[in-house]
Structure 1
Amino acid sequence: MFRLIYLSTPKPEVGKPDIDQILASSRKNNRFNNITGLLIQDKKRFLQYLEGDQKAVEETFNRIASDPRHTAVFMVKSGFVVRRQFPKWTMASKNAERSNSLVAAVSEMTKACDKDVADELLSFAAARDRAA
């Protein structure tokens, strides 16, 4: 199973209606392309984990990277994992804005993941929390 993790910064004018549209479109496209994953956002960043066929995931990432609602799109990691980590989620989402802790949001959403994948996502979230 191929996976890709990226961080990006939404443009300042991106609000809840835009995020709702991104999620609706992602869920539809991901279902069609057999991609699963999660999107966690706070006031300043998107953290997204995509998994599925390598070609489909990379094409999805390329579309995201060219989306004008995102800036500073940075691929954190890509490669293969043993199994799908989010098999039931065409695109799970959590807004960390309320708690202001990306770690808390990621921790909640990665409970069923393999330990190494959860630890990886948590380390990225912790770095983001420290930078905030």
Structure 2
Amino acid sequence: MYRLVYISTPKRALGSDELLTILAAATKNNRRNEITGILIQDHKRFLQYLEGSEDKVEETFARISADPRHFAISRLKSGSIERRQFPGWSMASKTVDQCNSLRDAVSELVKDCDRDVAAELLSFAEARDRAG
């Protein structure tokens, strides 16, 4: 099993309808490619965790990287993992209100993850919260 975590910045604020369209396409594509994961959006950044076969995850990341709706795409982590962390979610999603922290949203989604994966995702979220 392979995982990839990245963060990116939308070029403009996305409306809820546009975000739902993105999520619907991601869910469809991820089911087809047997990819699971999460997408968290705080109106300033996207934090996404993808898992599946290495070739399918890397193909998905290449497609995402070419999407003109966002920039400053940074791969935070990639590599092998022992098991799926989000087996029931072809794409779980959480939008964080401006008054809430990204860490709180991530904390909610990683409660069933391996301890090291949860700590890693929480650390990324905490760093983003500090950066404001």
Shared fold (TM-score, shorter chain, > 0.5): yes
Q: What residue ranges of structure 1 are gaps of 5+ in the alignment?
A: none
**Residue equivalent to 2:18:** 18
Give the TM-score normalised by structure 2: 0.97
- For 1:52-71, what aligned pairs fall within 5 Å after superposition? 52-71=52-71
Runs of 4 or more, structure 1, over 2 Å off, are: none
Identity %: 62
Deviations 1:47-98 (A, max 9, x none): 0000000000000000000001111111101001110000000000001125
Structure-1 separation of matches of 2:45 and 2:98: 14
**Residue equivalent to 1:51:** 51
Structure-1 separation of matches of 2:48 and 2:106: 10
Computed over aligned residues only, the root mean square deviation of the Cα atoms, in angstroms, reads: 0.9
| Per-residue deviation, 1:13 | 4.3
**Does the alignment pair 1:113 with 2:113?**
yes
Q: Is the 8 A contact 2:13 2:43 kept in 1?
A: no
**Residue equivalent to 1:6:** 6
Give the TM-score normalised by structure 1: 0.97
